[in-house]
Chain A
């Protein structure tokens, strides 16, 4: 124990004097988590709270186009600015001058086509109501009329997911215009008088409200925010970032003369590796405490949503401990197999980015398909992220994350065995 304690003291001293290593392990991840959460929070707000500026150039003179613009306004997702019809060809420059991310040009025959389509649908309906014999009275339905395509211009900065939401919203505005006109025509054709406004509203506004309810393990309905999503994910990334200091430390020791001397002393090198594991395990726990504390205390100060810790703190500690142990084991493994510090740092940095990618830190794992989905299971970050999400987003308990902890533990043990075999093969123990 004395040898282990002295070794830990030695490792702590070396670590504290490695300013670059400390900044890589603590400062960089903190910057990363603040920046990424801020960016993601702005995206959340852009979609949920802020309105997207849209420029509409109406080249049509009919009523349908005016109704369409009203419908777009009523969606509540856009701030509509209208521009003169002569600017249809230069909509892109008009978007830029008005700081709009979206632009729509309503074609000049928009109302005419909407009316014709409504009339056509009404005629078909009348023919169906009155039977074939009365088809002459009802009028012969005309061939189907298709609405000219509505061009929706967008700034390429808009992500695909957001673009699909916008497209859906514009489509629903169009649908309202078309349905309203069809109802009016049909009513007029059958009753020979205008559709009463109250009935029109009743028919058009009868859609069922959709309530968005987050699921949780304990039945609570806390809406997740950018902090709940990002802080746990980037904490995992930070823990694996210890490779930049620890991997290099193992290589330095291995290639420096001190290793030869260590081999001639009556102590097994495994004591040295155990010391490094314990020292850096504490480092990963400190990283987690610091990043979580920033999420809780500092985020509200800079206008970000605060991080809410899960109710099962023991489960949170256990997940963090096993994740830290896995990160440390992986770093030592890379250090044992690397021949130079450059190899360790280069491979280490790239490999943790790859593990983060396939582990779902950068792209959600549920969005992955095929081999990428399978590869997810071999990334320790995936199991840790699943456990964190279960705790942070669904307020899960220890029993909900035991499966993830088990998988993480198995991966860690495999890494330890590979490290041991590497040490044997390289004649280091």
Chain B
């Protein structure tokens, strides 16, 4: 389905394989994500979600075809593109010995912010994400939910135009999950494109408007969430997911 208007992500005829593996991870993959959308990428374990996320963020380089982010070619050496997006990996990607404020200072500087911008953004984010009281305490002493919020804060410190989120709410309580989802919805209202992946399909229904499901390196369905559910005659993403990917274990 062709998307009219500006694209946040434009993947054309993309192919990728890991150097130490003969198996093709992706072959001739095409995917477009409109700017300003809340896009969900779903699939069973091993379907290629994280690999695709790493390709879109330039952590990995494509073997064939191209991936453009806001019209610019992504790649491992393309530091210009890196200014445009933020990344919230599934793992806690920060320095546990440092406090939230110290982490934000470091990652903010590496994202290209000035000292003043870092200070302002740190105050703002710690306030929004409820970390003001612990701003100077080492993150290693935090609960899982607090660490998730620090992880998210670092990803958005430089006000990225596109935000990649790899399971941003895994392992957190309902309160933290709700707070994170609400924050992401607010962020999207300011124009930030969200590229989100998760196994929490109920949560995805609340957050995403556009979705794609992938399995074995191929997109098996794609479109607006309501249209996709209607086209497959299902009422929930979970039903659709089981129907399209089967009930067998995935390793």
Q: A263 — which chain B residues lie within 8 A by C-beta?
A: 58-59, 76
A9 CA / B102 CA spacing, docked (Å): 9
A264-B109 in contact (CB<8A): no
Q: Is the CB of A18 closer than 8 A to any CB of chain B? A: yes
Q: Which 5 A-B pairs have the closest CB atoms?
A: A257-B91, A257-B93, A6-B109, A261-B93, A266-B82
B107-A13 in contact (CB<8A): no
Q: Is the CB of B115 closer than 8 A to any CB of chain A? A: yes
B97-A258 in contact (CB<8A): no
Q: A2 — which chain B residues lie within 8 A by C-beta?
A: 109, 114-115
Q: A17-B97, A266-B80 are in contact. Are A260 and B105 (CB under 8 A)?
A: no
Given contacts A13-B98, A264-B87, 7 further A-B contacts (CB under 8 A): A2-B109, A10-B98, A14-B95, A260-B59, A261-B93, A267-B111, A271-B110
B234 to chain A, nearest CB (A): 34
Q: A271 — which chain B residues lie within 8 A by C-beta?
A: 110
Of B90, B94, B138, the contact of A258 (CB 8 Å cutoff): B94
B109-A13 in contact (CB<8A): no
A264 CA / B80 CA spacing, docked (Å): 11
Q: A308 — which chain B residues lie within 8 A by C-beta?
A: none
B91-A260 in contact (CB<8A): yes
Q: Which residues of B contact A (CB under 8 A)?
A: 54, 57-59, 76, 79-80, 82-83, 85, 87, 89-95, 97-98, 102, 105-107, 109-112, 114-115, 138, 154-155
B106-A17 in contact (CB<8A): no
Of B85, B102, B112, B115, the contact of A264 (CB 8 Å cutoff): B85
Q: B59 — which chain A residues lie within 8 A by C-beta?
A: 260, 263-264
Q: A262-B110, A264-B82 are in contact. Are A6 and B89 (CB under 8 A)?
A: no
Could you pull out 30 A-B pairs where Cβ atoms are within 8 angstroms? Answer: A2-B115, A3-B109, A3-B110, A6-B106, A7-B110, A9-B106, A10-B95, A10-B102, A13-B98, A14-B98, A17-B97, A18-B97, A257-B91, A258-B95, A260-B87, A260-B91, A260-B93, A261-B87, A261-B154, A261-B155, A262-B110, A263-B58, A264-B59, A264-B85, A265-B107, A266-B80, A266-B83, A266-B110, A267-B111, A268-B79
Nearest B residue to A265 via CB reads: B110
Q: Is the CB of A427 closer than 8 A to any CB of chain B? A: yes
Q: Is the CB of A256 closer than 8 A to any CB of chain B? A: yes
Nearest B residue to A259 via CB reads: B93
Q: A3 — which chain B residues lie within 8 A by C-beta?
A: 109-110
A265 CA / B155 CA spacing, docked (Å): 10
A258-B114 in contact (CB<8A): no
A10-B58 in contact (CB<8A): no
Nearest B residue to A272 via CB reads: B110
A264 to chain B, nearest CB (A): 4
B93-A10 in contact (CB<8A): no
Q: A6-B106, A263-B76, A264-B59 are in contact. Are A258 and B111 (CB under 8 A)?
A: no
B89-A260 in contact (CB<8A): yes
A18 CA / B98 CA spacing, docked (Å): 11
Nearest A residue to B112 via CB reads: A266
Interface residues of A in 58-109 (CB under 8 A from B): none
A261 CA / B106 CA spacing, docked (Å): 12
B87-A13 in contact (CB<8A): no
B58-A264 in contact (CB<8A): yes
Q: A18 — which chain B residues lie within 8 A by C-beta?
A: 97
A304 CA / B58 CA spacing, docked (Å): 60
